[in-house]
Structure 1
Amino acid sequence: MPVTLTPGHVDLATLAEIYWQGSPATLDPAAMPAIEAAAARIAAVAAGAEAVYGVNTGFGKLASIRIAAEDVETLQRNLILSHCCGVGAPLETGIVRLILVLKLMSLGRGASGVRPALIRLIEGMLAAGIMPVIPEKGSVGASGDLAPLAHMAAVMIGEGEAFLEGQRLSGAEALARAGLDPVILTAKEGLALINGTQVSTALALAGLFRADRALQAAVITGALSTDAAMGSTAPTRAEIHALRGHRGQIDVAASLRALLEGSQIRESHREDDERVQDPYCLRCHPQVTGACLDLLRQVSVTLQIEANAATDNPLVLSDGSVVSGGNFHAEPVAFAADQMALAIAEIGAIAQRRIALLVDPALNYGLPGFLTPAPGLNSGLMIAEVTTAALMSENKQLAHPASVDSTPTSANQEDHVSMACHGARRLLQMTANLNYILGVEALTGAQGIGFRAPLDTSAPLAAVIAAIRGEISALAEDRYMAPDLEAAARLIAEGRLAAAAGLPLPSAF
């Protein structure tokens, strides 16, 4: 069933459902009067003598050039075609769907001046599954995500390309197959479509939704590692975390306690631990992953606001004035993407150290080297750990902030830009890397717990191990490992470890 969007009031859970489930969406009909009023105001301005940016003038550095009334439709069409300068691979379907939904939400605020026909066309494209081919590169995240949004808008005017039912078609053919007609853009409508932060925001939201799943999995894989290493649960005691007071830390510690409750492995060494303290990667798991959770929660607030915002230019204000501003500048999204990059890198960094601990016979408290029953003849999980080190290092490099790298564009008219679009796009690679790291930790944790038999782990972790073993058998002797790592990463990416645990886990939203 289509999701009904109330402009200004759409929550992240709804957008996550659209991203993960592929749900179509429609605008709340209550938004239409404001949309119609703003469109009428733009039509009146276009018919008047006053020069208004984006309505009857050129764009950017060419804003001083007045456009004749009979050329307004040509102006808008030329705007779309000339801005289709994206390069690189097409964005994935789930992200393109989010872009269309976010554009629908932004236009639905009734400040953009577009006609209801544009709203109906976007809804029709979502319902039919027409996903414009949007190249991944070309936006600097200011003046809107101009190039990628132009590729979206091109399909709406019967140009460009789109995916429909697995086929890559011309925009005109995709619309025709779905029984939809292209629009002829009138005053400001082309600008309303390509101004805005919808591509940057969609990419950032996809990064957030993926990072949230990964963080939940990291709580579980960290618990697996703790039990496999015969780590102490004392550092998860509630009062320790209450004394510090950070919400994320408190929530992660509570989940770790629940995940480890009832473990025979834990009870077996409660009274005779030789260790006074566990390494930081076990003992400080709540502090590090909890701080990452707090960062993702802060990002969630920013992105929910941005997802519901009117970000094109100019805007039709409540008094009827049409005013040029700068809501298209994606600095909040750029900062949010940079914050997420830090969190993603750190979740992976501490998880990688837990993997390193478990495969090291000098540190893993009685487990065989590299978690193989016959070390030497077999290398076990030796190189799986090396792979996670490579991925951890790559994520550290990718975590360098994008938002500080402004450069002037458009003949210095747009002299400070956010770089939000590629700053958010890099989160897709980073979360993919993180899923592999956590997948390997799931394998090492499950393998390590297996060596503790006949002692059993907790019921929730036993259920998690059963889910892992449903896809990947225990490592008895060396085998071709790459498919195991792919399968483990899918368990993380699809949220199946969290589902298997059967316990509430902390979330970013």
Structure 2
Amino acid sequence: MTSTSAVPPLAPTPLVAPVIVGARPLSPAEVVAVARDDARVQIAPAAGARVNATRELIERLADDPEPHYGISTGFGALATTFIAPDRRRQLQASLIRSHAAGTGAEVEREVVRALHLLRLQTLATGRTGVRPVVVATYAAMLNAGITPIVREYGSLGCSGDLAPLSHIALAALGEGEVRDASGALVAASDALAVAGIAPLVLEEKEGLALINGTDGMLGMLSLALADLDNLLTVADVTAAISVESQLGTDAVFAADLMALRPQTGQAASAANLRAFLADSPIVASHRDPAVCTRVQDAYSLRCSPQVHGAARDTLDHARMVASRELAAAVDNPVVTVDGRVESNGNFHGAPVAYVLDFLAIAVADLASIAERRTDRALDRTRSNGLPPFLADEVGVDSGLMIAQYAAAGIVSELKRLAVPASVDSIPSSAMQEDHVSMGWAAARKLRRGIDGLARVLAIELVTGCRALDLRAPLQPGPATAAVRDAVRAAGIAGPGPDRFVSPDLESATALVLSGAVAAAAVSAASFTTPENRPAFEEDDDHIAR
């Protein structure tokens, strides 16, 4: 699989509506719009009054001779150490510099932008005590396309994503390195100067406010929700192609059979399969029991809606957790609505970490059943008449034999990535932070898992479309034919002598990830009722990606 840590391409020109920050909780789609599509951000007017009010409270407490955590004290295990007023600016800068301790490869641009946006949203709630200039600076950096360099390792997911958030804050101070809007690696101070942004000089409480939060893991969860909305539809498409091309039956997907087991996701996937297989001459050709004497298809064909549906239900649960977290104002200490400044544990990433791990299980199983469908198509003893490995000249050509090896290797890795990170914990900060969520690690492995799933589905897509062509003169149904035509239009080969396979698999993966496969199937399919159409279709921006 391709590493998720590659240096990103140049930022595209924003073509989407601005995202308003600080008016209400952000939606996952708004996070994606800023992270991937470079939507500009605007601070809601009401946010300014909230930020001003809480800052005034922090400044009063800063003048209090009694120590207040995070305002006039040290941090973590040094929370009882009083810091004199003339040393507090140095304290804030030292906090950011010391906590910007990430190491490893660069994190993807979209992840950094999501992380940055979500911290900005929390700052704009007025619950953190920062000055308005901090909010304005974070917004200006996003709009200028300045992407701080964040490294792969450093976060334990408690107190939130400290190291990744510290790298964002460090850039706002004019220190460290960033990528500018063109993708060039430059000094943060130079990027800020070009954009006309003054580097921040942090005051009391602001250092903590910039780095205490679950923003990295939540940003990656938001991106994963969008990816999996697409890939779950693609999985239904490729399953339909496999069922059709392997002469499987669509009778097992009937609505009344699904109603006997009222699982929401299963019913949705079965409805997709029925729609994608509707009006298929290939399926119709073997409906007559006198022609087809098989009693049952293999589980990988027959149980596709059960497995895909369970993944859909898992995604819905993750979406619920994400929506709650997107409504949160996570900081420690936090300024309450009634003006108290209270220590708390809301930065702990367990709620997000659990669903990230849960999704990794679903991703691994989706890929597993897709690989089994692919393998059946290539085995002449199970494919119902297809040539071995879909080869052109059997014995001379190997067809798609090794493409299945690639799918099998990816599935094996996805099983390892499905081992939960959130059950691990390793103490830090002199045992003050003695239980951590590992949510950042859970998010990182989920991203790799999603990449792997897309590739396994792409291999099933290439295999299934070649198998459909080998059923000629019988023709596929409208939906699967539209997908097959999109695959061919992308230059991916059909039946014929062996050729260099890898470029076809890369092109198919790009087609899957772009949303083009799902869009082609949905646009040509016959759904019995509008509400049965896959939900992603309502999001035109998502299809465009």
Q: Assess same fold via TM > 0.5.
A: yes
Structure 1, residues 388-434: CA drift from partner, whole Å, max 9, x if none?
A: 00000100011001011011111000000000001111111111111
In structure 2, the partner of 1:240 is 257
In structure 2, the partner of 1:255 is 272
Further displaced range: 149-158 or 210-219: 210-219
Further displaced range: 27-36 or 105-114: 27-36
Q: 2:437 aligns with which of 412, 418, 429?
A: 418
Shift of 1:507: 5.0
Q: Distance in 1 between matches of 2:497 and 2:325?
A: 51
Further displaced range: 61-70 or 207-216: 207-216
Local SS of the residue matching 1:278: coil
In structure 1, the partner of 2:40 is 24
Shift of 1:22: 2.3
Shift of 1:230: 0.9
Q: Distance in 2 between matches of 1:274 and 1:507?
A: 38
Q: 2:354 aligns with which of 328, 331, 335?
A: 335
1:505 paired to 2:534: yes
Q: Is the 1:221–1:438 contact (alpha carbons within 8 Å) kept by the matching residues of 2?
A: yes
Unaligned regions of 5+ residues in structure 2, if any?
A: 1-16, 526-532, 540-545
Q: Distance in 2 between matches of 1:428 and 1:256?
A: 27
**Within-5 A mapping of 1:472-491:** 472-491=492-511
1:346 paired to 2:365: yes
In structure 2, the partner of 1:461 is 480
Q: Distance in 2 between matches of 1:217 and 1:400?
A: 25
Q: Is the 2:116–2:165 contact (alpha carbons within 8 Å) kept by the matching residues of 1?
A: no
1:141 paired to 2:151: no
**Within-5 A mapping of 1:156-167:** 156-164=172-180, 165-167=182-184
Q: Is the 1:106–1:308 contact (alpha carbons within 8 Å) kept by the matching residues of 2?
A: no
Q: Is the 1:252–1:506 contact (alpha carbons within 8 Å) kept by the matching residues of 2?
A: no
Shift of 1:506: 4.6
Q: CA RMSD in A?
A: 1.4
User: What is the aligned residue count?
Assistant: 509
Shift of 1:18: 2.7
Structure 2 letter corresponding to 1:505: P
**Within-5 A mapping of 1:374-453:** 374-453=393-472
Shift of 1:148: 1.1
1:124 paired to 2:140: yes
Shift of 1:83: 0.8
Structure 2 letter corresponding to 1:321: R
Q: Is the 1:87–1:136 contact (alpha carbons within 8 Å) kept by the matching residues of 2?
A: yes
The sequence identity of aligned pairs, in percent, is 42
Structure 2 letter corresponding to 1:313: N
Shift of 1:6: 4.3
Q: Is the 1:22–1:94 contact (alpha carbons within 8 Å) kept by the matching residues of 2?
A: no
Local SS of the residue matching 1:244: coil
TM-score, structure 1 as length reference: 0.98
Structure 1, residues 410-468: CA drift from partner, whole Å, max 9, x if none?
A: 10000000000011111111111111100000011100110111111111111111111
**Within-5 A mapping of 1:237-386:** 237-271=254-288, 272-386=291-405
Structure 1 letter corresponding to 2:174: G
Shift of 1:4: 1.5
Unaligned regions of 5+ residues in structure 1, if any?
A: none
Shift of 1:286: 0.5
Q: Distance in 1 between matches of 2:428 and 2:122?
A: 25
> Is the alpha carbon distance of 1:255 and 1:19 closer, same or farther for their aligned partners in structure 2, counting shifts above 3 Å?
farther
Structure 2 letter corresponding to 1:105: Q
Structure 2 letter corresponding to 1:403: S
1:49 paired to 2:65: yes
Q: Distance in 2 between matches of 1:253 and 1:7?
A: 39
Local SS of the residue matching 1:342: helix
Q: Distance in 2 between matches of 1:17 and 1:146?
A: 24
Q: Is the 2:28–2:225 contact (alpha carbons within 8 Å) kept by the matching residues of 1?
A: no
Local SS of the residue matching 1:72: helix
